[in-house]
Amino acid sequence: MKRKRLRKSDIRELNESIECYGYKAGKKDNVEIVEDDGLKFISINNRPMFFYHQDKIIPTLKSLLDCADIFNAIKKAVVDMGAVKFVTSGADIMRPGIVETDEGIKKGDAIAIVDVNNRKPLAVGIAIFSSEEIQEMKSGKVVKSIHYVGDNIWGFSV
């Protein structure tokens, strides 16, 4: 495992990248870049809060569960309960399983997948279409799953 503690200037730059998720690392926070088994994380106070996916910073499911600011800031797609077992197994999200989407989702955005009953995050994915296009569609894959409960990102500990 490779760890690199960030300096104050690096933390300022990082905060500019993660402010879209409603989060800001503080001056006294221990912020590190952690690399292990081909995964790259941003660890804040020994908690993996974000990970890199194709050079894009994305919140982990644990940060969505633990930090209301991050959960409230990320766009969401809501799936019916029939889709839950597939989503939590890492399947991409298909249009028939989606009940609703937040407005303003753009193609390529990182979004949280939540279940209709509990509104708890099940997965993080990349939108293949905008929210308007998703609403017009009747079938097909609409979100590429990149992180789900039980995967190696979920199981990672610093």
User: How confident is the model over 63-92, as pLDDT tens digits?
Assistant: 999 999 999 999 999 999 999 999 999 999
Predicted local confidence at residue 91, as pLDDT:
97
- 82 and 49 in a common domain: no
Residue % of the chain over a pLDDT of 70: 99
Contacts of 19 (CB under 8 A, 6+ apart): none
User: Tokens 């800001």 appear where?
Assistant: 24
Express each pLDDT in 103-116 by its tens digit. 999 999 999 999 99
Look at residue 156 and tell me if it is in a domain.
no
- 54 and 7 in a common domain: yes
User: Tokens 């499911």 appear where?
Assistant: 61
Query: pTM of the prediction?
Result: 0.93
For residue 48, what are the domain limits? 2-66
C-alpha to C-alpha distance for 76 and 146, rounded to whole angstroms: 14
C-alpha to C-alpha distance for 100 and 35, rounded to whole angstroms: 35
Q: Quick one: DSSP state of residue 138?
A: S
- 92 and 39 in a common domain: no
